[in-house]
Homo-oligomer: A and B are copies of this chain.
Amino acid sequence: MVGNVKEFIEGVDFDKGGGLVPVVVQDEGSKDVLMLAYANKEALRLSFETKIAHYWSRSRSSLWKKGETSGHVQKIKSIKMDCDSDTLLYIVEQVGVACHRGTWSCFDPESKGGRQK
């Protein structure tokens, strides 16, 4: 990893949330907010390194490469940190759909099978 990525990761305040930070996930093209997930330091490192979004699954207590089974991966376009250093924003290219219900966004149950209009 290049130095500024290491510096970025070290700058994230993981302590406030017990090792996790919330990650807002936004589709680059449509700018739709797709979901909110959580990342630990390793998930963030892997997201930078592989350019595929990784999270920490709180329900399974394990590292989670989103789309590993479904193929609905999220290609990382950029990663931003907020002013308090305790929240991340992944800007992604969503392959397929983001939600396990089969909808484009976890916030829109009407967006069945594809992106919102």
Chain B residues with CB below 8 A from A5, complex form: none
Identify A36's interface contact among B24, B30, B31, B32, CB under 8 A: B24
**Is A22 close to B, CB under 8 A?**
yes
Most buried by B among A36, A84, A89: A36
* A8 CB within 8 Å of chain B: no
CB proximity of A57 to chain B, nearest CB, Å: 12
The answer, yes or no, to whether A80 is at the interface (CB within 8 Å) is: yes
Q: Does A82 contact B (CB under 8 A)?
A: yes
Shortest distance in angstroms between A66's beta carbon and chain B's nearest beta carbon?
Answer: 14
Asked whether, in the complex, the Cβ of A35 is within 8 Å of the Cβ of B82, the reply is yes
Residues of A that sit less than 8 Å from B by CB: 22, 24, 26, 30-33, 35-36, 80-84, 87, 89, 99-101, 103, 106-109
- Could you name 12 residue pairs across A and B whose Cβ atoms are closer than 8 Å? A24-B36, A26-B33, A30-B31, A31-B32, A33-B33, A36-B87, A80-B108, A82-B107, A83-B99, A83-B101, A84-B106, A89-B107
